[in-house]
Structure formats: C-alpha cells, structure tokens
Amino acid sequence: MTKLLILSDSHGSPEAVRRILTAESDADAVIFLGDGLHDLEKALTAVPKMRVYSVAGNCDFGALEPLDGLAAFDSVVLFYTHGHMYGVKYDLDTLAEAAAARGAEVALFGHTHIPLAEQRGTVLLFNPGSCGRCYVGPDTYGVMTLADGQVVRAEHKEVPKR
C-alpha cells in the first residue's frame, strides 16, 4: 500500500505546507503540483527525508523543475502537472487525453484551486485544491492511497490550522 500526499498552489504559505507534511509524515511521497516551489523547499526542513516529486506552475518564475512528470507507484501510473499548459481552467479533455496518451491511469493537476476527483474515460482526474491562500474556499490538499495496481482512495482534506 502506498500513501501519496498531493499538494498544489501554496502561494507563499510555507507554514501551511509544513503543517501538512508534519501531519501526514507517514506518507510515502509528496507530489507538489506547482505555484509555491519555494514554500515546499522551506517546509521540507521539517521532514528532510520525504520523497518529493514536483513540477513548476505558472507562478514559479525561474524554476528549473519540469512542467509535467510521469511516475509509477504500486503499479499505478500517474501523470502530474500544474495544469496551465493543458487549459484546465477551460476544460479537462486535453489533460485527460495527455495522461491517457502517456499510459497513465491518474492525472494530477492544480491551477484552478478547486478540489476535484472525476473519472474521465480511463483516467482519474484529481486536483487537490489550493493548500495556501485559496480564494474560492478552504485551503485543501489531497491524500491518495494506492494498492495492487489501483487507486483505493482519493480524498481531500483541509489544511491543519496549527
């Protein structure tokens, strides 16, 4: 069984990222979907051995991270991106097609700040929401549990207050 933390859009809130990493320190890996890479770097001092996968978002100016990535955990292939390059604020078809073309069963994305878990064809689309300074609702993040080649659970949680 694999537990993944899915974070995105911290927008200058390293303390929120640190609270999540501390609360979920039993996670096997973190996937950070952009717009706050500096926040992630600062927060990782609390859990320096955490395995991290990250991509740059549209607000991560000068970042060297790629715009998307592909990884496999527990025999589940995940495509992850911030989402701005796939037009996720307008529709999710392009993202779903890009993930399917790469052989992914899951597409992780941020950018919209809106939590989402939706099956689109053979691809589960998952957006954790914004974990810092969200403008459309509470600050949220995602936890995804994988086992035996499938997603067992994909849930949204509110960022711990302290």
Residue 121: is its pLDDT beyond 80?
A: yes
Of the pLDDT bands very low, low, confident and very high (cuts 50, 70, 90), residue 46 is: confident
Of the pLDDT bands very low, low, confident and very high (cuts 50, 70, 90), residue 137 is: confident
Instruction: Specify whether the CB–CB gap between 79 and 92 falls below 8 A.
Output: no
Share of the chain above pLDDT 90, in %: 93
Residue 133: is its pLDDT beyond 80?
A: no
Neighbour count for residue 41 (Cβ, 10 Å): 14
Domains in the chain: ranges and CATH: 2-158 (3.60.21.10)
Residue 67: is its pLDDT beyond 90?
A: yes
Residue 56: is its pLDDT beyond 90?
A: yes
Give residue 47's pLDDT: 87
Instruction: Specify whether the CB–CB gap between 20 and 27 falls below 8 A.
Output: no
Return d(Cα 27, Cα 5) in angstroms, integer. 6
Who wins on pLDDT, 136 or 139? Answer: 139
Give residue 44's pLDDT: 94
Q: pLDDT digits over 73-115, tens only?
A: 999 999 999 999 999 999 999 999 999 999 999 999 999 999 9
Of the pLDDT bands very low, low, confident and very high (cuts 50, 70, 90), residue 27 is: very high
Six token digits for residue 72? 């496999």
Mean pLDDT of the chain: 96
